[in-house]
Amino acid sequence: MELAQQLVNGLTLGSLYALIAVGYTVVYGIIQLINFAHGEIFMVGAFGALSTALLFFRSYVDEGQVLPFWALPVLILGAVAASVAIAVLMERIAYRPLRNAPRLAPLITAIGISVFLQEAVRLLYGKIPGFPDAKQKVPFPKIAVVSGDAWTPFGLTIQRSTIFTVGALVICAAGLFYFVSRTKTGRAMQAVSQDPDTARLMGINVDRIIVVAFVIGATLAAIAGIAQGLQVTNVNFKMGFLAGLKAFTAAVLGGIGNVWGAVLGGLTLGIVEALAIGFIPGTFGGSSWKDVWAFAILILVLVFRPQGLLGAKVVDRA
Amino acid sequence: MSTNTALPDVLDDSDVSRRDRLREQHGAKAPLLALAGGVLLLVSGLLSWSYDDRILGDISIRFYPAGIQIYAMVLGLVAVVLGVLLRRRPGWLNPGRGLAAVGWGSLVFVVVALVTIARQAGGSININEGGWVALVGALLVFAAGFVAQRFELNVRTWPRLPGWAEILVIVVLMAVLLFTTAYTLGLDDSWTFVCLLVTLLSVAIALVGSGFGEYVGFVGGNNRRVLLLAAFLVAFLFPFTQDGSDANMSIATQILIFAATALGLNIVVGLAGLLDLGYIAFLGTGAYVGAMLSQSTFATIGWKPPFLVVMLCGMAVASTFGLIIGSPTLRVSGDYLAIVTLGFGEIFRLAMFNLDGTNGPDLTNGPNGIPAIPDLNFFGWDFGKVHTVAGIPLGRFSNYYFLLLLLIAFVILVFSRLNDSRIGRGWVAIREDERAAEAMGVNVFGLKLLAFAIGAALAGLAGTIKAHQDTSVTPDQYIFLESAFLLAAVVLGGMGTVAGVLVGATILKLLPEKLRDAADYRLLLFGLLLVIMMRFRPEGLVASKRRQLEFHEDDEELVQLAQTEHLEEAK
Amino acid sequence: MTVTDPAPAAHEIGDRVVLEAANVTMRFGGLTAVGDVSMRVHDGEIVGLIGPNGAGKTTFFNCLTGMYIPTEGRVTLAGEQLPPKPLKVVRAGMARTFQNIRLFGNMTALENVMVGRYCRTSSMALTSVLRGPKFRREESATRERAQELLDYVGLGKSTELLARNLPYGDQRRLEIARALATDPQILLLDEPTAGMNPKETEETMHLIFKIRDSGLAVVVIEHDMRFIFNLCDRVLCLVRGSVLVEGTPGEVQSDPRVIEAYIGGDDADEEEDA
């Protein structure tokens, strides 16, 4: 029973990681850029949802009431809008001019953006009239059906937010599968990730495809942002850092560049973490060491299978 | 390699042909404009800027220049000199570029000054005649810089001075440097500091842009040892300018530790091209070793050896960690390495946080860290006490400053000698093309590991001193952001250079200390700065020619300049 | 052996087998890129490798130099079996150039060649920092030798130029100088004249003769038939990973199968060069 409970916990955590990890992997697959600021896109999504709630469901929030279920899609829209806007701006202003620069340059830019976004939210969010100060944790509104008492089938404890998170992952993965393999833009994306120069010669607008990749990543990250808000019932400007790092670990674990790898990697990482909390005996077990175990897994994978679980081996041509 | 000449021309983004035509038509007027503007700026320094005598120091008195009035006069002087030079056209200078920089600088400077006066005194009515004269002067210099014609630098015609005169040039420069540093650090008012910074920056850019920088590099190259000696002498003399005050010395020691660590990182990132995002962990390792083996009653290990042994232990433990981290991860390619090292940095922090007795053995006292680390004591010289040398009292931080000066000298020595050796060439080759390096017989894995170990050892060494200087060690000093800061110092200053990293470290540590008004926005600006630097000057402030070429491949002029220079050097 | 020795008037092929590749096979998954190729190279001999695109020439080179571990077969250099590690292969005395030039672009020409000396020098970190007499002696010897090699390939005046700024032909010659700096017994050249004009090609041919005359063995991959047939003592024609014909330039030139492989082998052209 303990095992089943930890598996449920791991699955929840893993779904969250998977949703964020897809953003890393899609962008990396196309322009080989580790978008280090992706964790912040996730954070911005959560704040986007919060802002939407404050703007349209003010009365509920002020009185501490639970938002009606139909507010959920509105919040999702708000979150996605915020994340996508920031991601697209970021690509346009910061990354695009560096497309041909040595690889260090975009990575450092990414660190800069990451710090900038965190600080911008911390300092400026509260300055918008009617919005709470974001220097501390900000409570995230509760929504009917997906917040509330946990379910306890067969003695397990399943939070309602878990259903949302796992459900979101399933729907997003299915949507992504359809998009990548069935639509013209999706196939163009595959082409660009294979060979951007040839793709350009074939008449594919590579710039547009790169933007699409950022948009996909941001959308999923925004949904993950809401999931996180529902799970821990608050959001803060720092939430993107560790989540982003874990999600990147998940992406590498699954094989960076491979969308299904990201999903698999996220779930694996979540479950490993949950099992580490529950089953590593002695003083090195428990939640205080779980992050250490997660990174240890990353390192083990890179040593023994650097291409990740589902990645293809890269052959360097002489 | 000499200092760089090709600063980004501030007008580069405008329509090139239109700009050229403008210069063609009005270029002849530039010297006159510069002279007029410069004289106005000089005059403005003698006039009153503000009714209120509490703003930006006291600038309300006439014929007694102080604070920003002096800065205006400095800018004016530089404009006049460049104006005269522009008229006489010596082949080894390019005053046009310098004028452009001074023009921008004075304009920004005057506008900042006037806005500050208006804001703090409540309206532009409080600005006195001096401010307006300065504004007109700045506009004229700006115009001059805009239309001034640019010349090709003729590198071959640098005037040679007799040996003693060249040494004198270096000595004077160093003296100016010492004085300016002491003066800058002495400023308390944020906005005066900003004005000074704008002035210094634009004068520096003007001098470098117009070719003085090249000349200084040339003279410095002729008298390398003198230059080095003078630089260290200046650094050594600095505490004596502080008159016993420890406030600036505290900042200076922080800068030195930061710079020494950044130089260690520069070996890993700048030379070997390995992006390490968890480097702060090595500094932390050193600091924890220093703390655990110190006389502190909270130290968890009973062994309390002399500090020299502690330093060696710090180096050894840090480099061992470097090897442990490096051996599995260095086979991984670039981007992965960045994240893995980041993960290791987090593991280090979490481990230090957790090893408190309840989650594993008690080594670090967990989040509380190890406090009450006593001051160092070298052969009876107690670092905690004030010592009076030549009538000038030297406080606690001055003592650490001298020790850290030795440390940084050591780190610079290691860095530059390794850079110019078989090992250094191997590292650069790996950075350039790993597979080709391997195919040419370079031991890629071994050298990468060596870079990691040496970098870690240097950081560990700095850490042991840092533990004593800070008197306590806690896990929250070693967060990811600190690694990002270190990396930023390396990148901002100029990867692979010593001077660049020193400049970068100074800027990153000094600015937040002096801009107290903007303390809350410090990180926001830091993030923005990284993005802007990567966009407009990715090679860093002090770039080696090699780096510049890497980032600006399409700049024909630069390529040619570099080529002629290489030929010159070869001759 | 220094390569600056005056070249003997007529050259002789030595008896000693420098390089022997026996039944080398390289498979990537189901694709056999190199199948059962054997080759012997003697002292002072120039061997040419020709074949249509995708015939596995470069893959074969990679197997020889330890960049790939051959699926089957073995490679011996002067009687010693080579470990499949580029580093050890270079130490043993085999050096190569690359088809798509792989210089250290942001290093000067001299520094590039000095990197080639890496495996024949030994000063490590501590000696480099201490700068003892041994270090200084070795450093100046390295510099001298590198300059000598640059002069040898005709780049004596480009010493201080960054490799990336050199003209194309000079970059190829710099690669040769860098390879020679490792003191090899045998030199593998992967398309040394690709992209060169006839005059440069001519110069390269004389350079290779000069290298051969100093006692080195040379293996050349090239598409330029005229170049190969004028240069080589012996030619191997690879088609689809195996040796189709081996013989003197005259024999190979007149072999109908070679002509067919090049002209009639449409399908071979479509294979990608792995």
pLDDT tens-digit series, residues A253-287:
888 778 888 899 999 999 988 888 777 766 666 66
Tell me if C89 is assigned to some domain: yes
In the prediction, which pLDDT does A19 show?
A: 93
Higher pLDDT, B532 or A80: A80
In the prediction, which pLDDT does B319 show?
A: 92
pLDDT band per the 50, 70, 90 thresholds, residue B71 = confident
Smallest CA–CA distance, residue C134 to chain A, in Å, is 36
Name the nearest CA neighbour of C26 among C238, C218, C267, C257: C238
Task: Please tell me whether residues C111 and C136 are part of one structural domain.
Answer: yes
Q: Do B442 and C119 touch (CB under 8 A)?
A: yes
In the prediction, which pLDDT does C2 show?
A: 41
pLDDT tens-digit series, residues A89-137:
999 998 888 887 777 788 888 889 999 999 999 999 988 888 888 888 8
In the prediction, which pLDDT does A235 show?
A: 92
Domain final position from B222, B240, B258: B240
Task: Please tell me whether residues C57 and C166 are part of one structural domain.
Answer: no
Domain final position from C181, C202, C226: C181
Smallest CA–CA distance, residue C135 to chain B, in Å, is 9
Task: Please tell me whether residues C87 and C194 are part of one structural domain.
Answer: yes
Task: Please tell me whether residues B278 and B161 are part of one structural domain.
Answer: no
Task: Please tell me whether residues C74 and C137 are part of one structural domain.
Answer: no
Q: Do C28 and A318 touch (CB under 8 A)?
A: no
Q: Do B530 and A103 touch (CB under 8 A)?
A: no
Task: Please tell me whether residues B273 and B184 are part of one structural domain.
Answer: no
B331 has a chain C CB within 8 A of its CB: no
C3 has a chain B CB within 8 A of its CB: no
Task: Please tell me whether residues C172 and C225 are part of one structural domain.
Answer: no
Q: CATH no. for residue C8? A: 3.40.50.300
Smallest CA–CA distance, residue B421 to chain C, in Å, is 6
In the prediction, which pLDDT does B316 show?
A: 93
Cβ-Cβ contacts under 8 Å, A114 against chain B = 527
Cβ-Cβ contacts under 8 Å, C102 against chain B = 433, 435-436, 439
Torsion of CA C172, C173, C178, C180, to 10 degrees: 120
Residue to mutate among C129, C137, C142, C180, with most B CBs inside 10 A, is: C129
Q: Are B351 and A292 in contact (CB under 8 A)?
A: yes
- Rounded to an integer, the average pLDDT of B209-234 is 75
In the prediction, which pLDDT does B157 show?
A: 61
- Rounded to an integer, the average pLDDT of A235-247 is 89
Q: Do B332 and A306 touch (CB under 8 A)?
A: yes
In the prediction, which pLDDT does A126 show?
A: 87
Task: Please tell me whether residues C52 and C82 are part of one structural domain.
Answer: yes
In the prediction, which pLDDT does B333 show?
A: 67
Task: Please tell me whether residues B341 and B214 are part of one structural domain.
Answer: no
Instruction: Report the alpha-carbon distance of residue B109 to residue B134 in Å, rounded.
Output: 10
| DSSP assignment string, A93-155 | IIIGGGTTS-THHHHHHHHHHHHHHHHHHHHHGGGSTTPPP-SS-EEPPPBTTTSSSPB-GGG
Higher pLDDT, B444 or B545: B444
Calculate what percentage of chain B has a pLDDT beyond 90.
11
- Which residues are registered as beta bridge partners of C72? C25
pLDDT above 90 (res A192): no
Higher pLDDT, B167 or C46: C46
- Rounded to an integer, the average pLDDT of B260-273 is 90
pLDDT band per the 50, 70, 90 thresholds, residue B8 = very low
Cβ-Cβ contacts under 8 Å, A24 against chain B = none
In the prediction, which pLDDT does A49 show?
A: 94
B456 has a chain C CB within 8 A of its CB: no
Task: Please tell me whether residues B219 and B292 are part of one structural domain.
Answer: no
pLDDT tens-digit series, residues B118-143:
877 777 777 778 778 888 888 888 88
Q: Say what the pTM is.
A: 0.82
- Rounded to an integer, the average pLDDT of B346-361 is 79
- Rounded to an integer, the average pLDDT of B525-547 is 75
In the prediction, which pLDDT does C125 show?
A: 81
Tell me if A212 is assigned to some domain: yes
Tell me if C10 is assigned to some domain: yes
Task: Please tell me whether residues C150 and C191 are part of one structural domain.
Answer: no
What mean pLDDT value characterizes chain B? Answer: 79
C258 has a chain B CB within 8 A of its CB: no
Tell me if B355 is assigned to some domain: yes
Instruction: Report the alpha-carbon distance of residue B359 to residue C127 in Å, rounded.
Output: 44
Which single residue is written with the structure tokens 């960076």?
A: A256
Instruction: Report the alpha-carbon distance of residue A67 to residue B139 in Å, rounded.
Output: 59
Q: Do C111 and B450 touch (CB under 8 A)?
A: no
Task: Please tell me whether residues B88 and B136 are part of one structural domain.
Answer: yes
pLDDT above 90 (res A215): yes
What range does the domain containing C165 cover?
103-181
- Rounded to an integer, the average pLDDT of C85-110 is 87
pLDDT above 50 (res B167): yes
pLDDT tens-digit series, residues B447-499:
999 999 999 999 999 999 998 888 888 888 888 888 888 888 888 877 878 88
pLDDT tens-digit series, residues B310-321:
899 999 999 999
Name the nearest CA neighbour of C196 among C103, C112, C101, C113: C101
Task: Please tell me whether residues C14 and C62 are part of one structural domain.
Answer: yes
Task: Please tell me whether residues B316 and B401 are part of one structural domain.
Answer: yes
Tell me if C98 is assigned to some domain: no
pLDDT tens-digit series, residues A20-30:
998 888 888 88
- Nearby residues of B478 by Cβ (< 8 Å), 6 or more positions away: B280, B281, B283, B284, B287, B345, B348, B349, B352
What range does the domain containing A117 cover?
2-304
pLDDT tens-digit series, residues A287-318:
677 788 888 887 777 777 777 777 654 443 33
Name the nearest CA neighbour of B286 among B267, B264, B269, B253: B264
Chains near B (3 or more Cβ pairs under 8 Å): A, C
| DSSP assignment string, chain C | --TTSPPPSS----SSEEEEEEEEEEEETTEEEEEEEEEEEETT-EEEEE-STTSSHHHHHHHHTTSS--SEEEEEETTEEPPS-HHHHHHHTEEE--SS----TTSBHHHHHHHHGGGG----HHHHHHT-HHHHHHHHHHHHHHHHHHHHHT-TT-TTSBGGGS-HHHHHHHHHHHHHTT--SEEEEESTTTT--HHHHHHHHHHHHHHHHTT-EEEEE-S-HHHHHHH-SEEEEEETTEEEEEE-HHHHHH-HHHHHHHHT-HHHHHS---
pLDDT above 60 (res B426): yes
Q: Do A118 and B521 touch (CB under 8 A)?
A: no
- Nearby residues of B453 by Cβ (< 8 Å), 6 or more positions away: B319, B322, B323, B326
Q: Do C102 and B433 touch (CB under 8 A)?
A: yes
Tell me if A70 is assigned to some domain: yes
Domain final position from C158, C181, C204: C181
In the prediction, which pLDDT does A149 show?
A: 77
pLDDT above 80 (res B203): yes
In the prediction, which pLDDT does B15 show?
A: 55
pLDDT band per the 50, 70, 90 thresholds, residue B153 = low
B423 has a chain C CB within 8 A of its CB: yes
Instruction: Report the alpha-carbon distance of residue B459 to residue B477 in Å, rounded.
Output: 14
pLDDT above 80 (res B215): no
Task: Please tell me whether residues C200 and C227 are part of one structural domain.
Answer: yes
In the prediction, which pLDDT does B6 show?
A: 41
- Rounded to an integer, the average pLDDT of C112-136 is 85
Task: Please tell me whether residues C27 and C150 are part of one structural domain.
Answer: no
Q: Do C28 and A315 touch (CB under 8 A)?
A: yes
Q: CATH no. for residue A267? A: 1.10.3470
- A28, B45, B506, C14 from B188: Cα distances, Å: 47, 21, 17, 82
Which residue in chain C is spatially nearest to B421 when comparing CA positions? C128
Q: Are A261 and A308 in contact (CB under 8 A)?
A: yes
Instruction: Give the H/E segment covering residue B382.
Output: strand B381-382
What mean pLDDT value characterizes chain C? Answer: 83
Task: Please tell me whether residues C51 and C71 are part of one structural domain.
Answer: yes
Tell me if A122 is assigned to some domain: yes
Q: Do B441 and C111 touch (CB under 8 A)?
A: no
Task: Please tell me whether residues B167 and B316 are part of one structural domain.
Answer: no
Instruction: Report the alpha-carbon distance of residue C191 to residue C211 in Å, rounded.
Output: 16
Calculate what percentage of chain A has a pLDDT beyond 90.
29
Which single residue is written with the structure tokens 């078989």?
A: B422
In the prediction, which pLDDT does C113 show?
A: 92
pLDDT tens-digit series, residues B75-114:
888 888 888 888 777 666 777 878 888 888 888 888 888 8
Task: Please tell me whether residues B334 and B433 are part of one structural domain.
Answer: yes
Instruction: Report the alpha-carbon distance of residue A8 to residue A273 in Å, rounded.
Output: 12
pLDDT tens-digit series, residues C158-190:
888 888 888 888 899 999 999 999 989 999 998
How many domains is chain C built from? 2
Instruction: Report the alpha-carbon distance of residue B411 to residue B263 in Å, rounded.
Output: 7
Task: Please tell me whether residues B274 and B232 are part of one structural domain.
Answer: no
Q: In this complex, which of B418, B441, B454 lies closest to C119 when CB atoms are compared?
A: B441
Domain final position from C146, C162, C181: C181
| DSSP assignment string, A193-243 | HH-HHHHHHTT--HHHHHHHHHHHHHHHHHHHHHHHHHHHSEE-TTHHHHH
pLDDT above 60 (res C249): yes
Tell me if C70 is assigned to some domain: yes
Smallest CA–CA distance, residue B332 to chain A, in Å, is 7
Higher pLDDT, A172 or B225: A172
C105 has a chain B CB within 8 A of its CB: yes
pLDDT above 80 (res C217): yes
Task: Please tell me whether residues B456 and B338 are part of one structural domain.
Answer: yes
Least confident of A219-233, C4-18, C227-241: C4-18
Tell me if A99 is assigned to some domain: yes
Task: Please tell me whether residues B455 and B517 are part of one structural domain.
Answer: yes
pLDDT above 90 (res A41): yes
pLDDT tens-digit series, residues B284-320:
999 999 888 887 777 777 777 888 888 999 999 999 9
Task: Please tell me whether residues B21 and B116 are part of one structural domain.
Answer: yes
In the prediction, which pLDDT does A51 show?
A: 93
Torsion of CA A82, A86, A92, A96, to 10 degrees: -130
How many domains is chain B built from? 2
- Rounded to an integer, the average pLDDT of C137-157 is 89
Cβ-Cβ contacts under 8 Å, B428 against chain C = 104, 106-107, 111
Task: Please tell me whether residues C69 and C112 are part of one structural domain.
Answer: no
What range does the domain containing B470 cover?
267-374+393-540
Instruction: Report the alpha-carbon distance of residue B487 to residue B480 in Å, rounded.
Output: 11
In the prediction, which pLDDT does C228 show?
A: 87
Higher pLDDT, B429 or B52: B429
Residues 161 to 180 of C: which have CB under 8 A from any B CB? 161-162, 164-165, 178-179
How many domains is chain A built from? 1
Smallest CA–CA distance, residue B487 to chain A, in Å, is 8
pLDDT tens-digit series, residues A164-185:
999 999 999 899 888 888 899 8
In the prediction, which pLDDT does B299 show?
A: 72
pLDDT band per the 50, 70, 90 thresholds, residue C75 = confident
Least confident of A210-214, B20-24, B61-65, B169-173: B61-65
Smallest CA–CA distance, residue C101 to chain A, in Å, is 9
